[in-house]
Amino acid sequence: MPDPLHVDLLRVDLLQAKNLCAGYGEMEILKTVDFSIREGSITAVIGSNGAGKTTLMRALSGLIATRSGAITFDGGVVSGLPAHERLEKGVALVPEGRLVFPDFTVHETLKVGAFSPRAHEGWKQRIEDMYALFPRLLQRKQSRAGSLSGGEQQMLALARGLMSRPKLLLLDEPSLGLAPMMADEVFRQLRTIRDSGITICLVEQNVQAALDIADYGYVMEDGHVKMHGPAAELLTMGSIRESYLGL
């Protein structure tokens, strides 16, 4: 177990958000959020419904505009860029509710996952890599995405996101609506993905499972970051055990 301070010195922030504000229409959801993701880590964002977790993911990926504040990624400011240009720099979002393309087959979905120019190089090999990572998808290669089970759809959404060759994978509620065994499988795969060199940031309702696999955690409340720290520390804090784990 390396000393956390030592880790801090060695690793750099892949993404940083400073005084980030964002929202929809008249509604301001994120109110000056400061947030960072360390390269090579799994960062978990937890918080109750309406805390702004999904909005944070959408703002980081560029699906909604930044109102004020700045997001830097990999050394450059990205807050003014539209989603497809952020993807080109390596920020990929797997949206909440999976949002698979119902009429596409599994194979077509993976192909279109490599839509961005960044993803062109080696896309055929990457599809094979995805089938190796998610063998269930190989079995259902020619099935319509709409006919897959919830767990299979989540794996497909993950694989589709990975097809873009991201440096940072943002996941919005990857275990939502999954049976516990399926959720466990997804969380295991997230570790494998992290170990392959892709930084992960996930939003989760399943606080225990998220903090178990995460290196670092943020707790959001009412559009603010309420606290943050190494995941293992957050798990032992009384207030978190009480509010989010019901212990």
Determine which residue in the list 8, 11, 68, 84 makes contact with another protein, applying CB under 8 A: 84
Residue 95 sits in the site that holds another protein (CB under 8 A) = yes
Determine which residue in the list 87, 203, 211, 225 makes contact with another protein, applying CB under 8 A: 87
**Tokens coding 20:** 């980030």
Q: Is the Cβ–Cβ distance between 210 and 202 less than 8 Å?
A: yes
Q: 């400011």: which residue's tokens? A: 77
Per DSSP (E only), the strands in the chain are 13-24, 27-38, 42-47, 68-73, 76-77, 91-94, 168-172, 199-203, 216-221, 224-230
**Tokens coding 184:** 């466990």
Residue 90 sits in the site that holds another protein (CB under 8 A) = no
Residue (of 224, 226, 223, 203) closest to 214 by Cα position:
203
* Minimum CB distance to another protein, residue 113 (Å): 6
Determine which residue in the list 67, 107, 118, 226 makes contact with another protein, applying CB under 8 A: 118
Determine which residue in the list 76, 103, 124, 135 makes contact with another protein, applying CB under 8 A: 103
Residue 178 sits in the site that holds another protein (CB under 8 A) = no
Residue 123 sits in the site that holds another protein (CB under 8 A) = no
Residue 176 sits in the site that holds another protein (CB under 8 A) = no
Q: Is the Cβ–Cβ distance between 157 and 102 less than 8 Å?
A: no
Residue 130 sits in the site that holds another protein (CB under 8 A) = no
Interface with another protein by CB under 8 A: which range of 73-81, 133-141, 158-166, 233-241? 158-166
- How many residues are recorded in the chain? 247
Residue 61 sits in the site that holds another protein (CB under 8 A) = yes
Interface with another protein by CB under 8 A: which range of 103-111, 201-209, 216-224, 229-237? 103-111
Per DSSP (E only), the strands in 39-90 are 42-47, 68-73, 76-77
Residue 108 sits in the site that holds another protein (CB under 8 A) = yes
Determine which residue in the list 14, 119, 193, 219 makes contact with another protein, applying CB under 8 A: 119
Residue 153 sits in the site that holds another protein (CB under 8 A) = no
Determine which residue in the list 50, 82, 122, 180 makes contact with another protein, applying CB under 8 A: 82
Q: Is the Cβ–Cβ distance between 211 and 235 less than 8 Å?
A: yes
Distance of CA 131 to the CA centre of its chain: 20
Largest CA distance in the chain: 49
Dihedral sign, Cα of residue 46, residue 76, residue 127, residue 110: positive
Beta-sheet pairing, 91-94 with 168-172:
parallel
Determine which residue in the list 77, 112, 132, 245 makes contact with another protein, applying CB under 8 A: 112
User: Interface residues with another protein (CB under 8 A)?
Assistant: 61, 63, 82-84, 87-88, 92-95, 99-104, 108, 111-113, 115-116, 118-119, 157, 160-161, 163-164
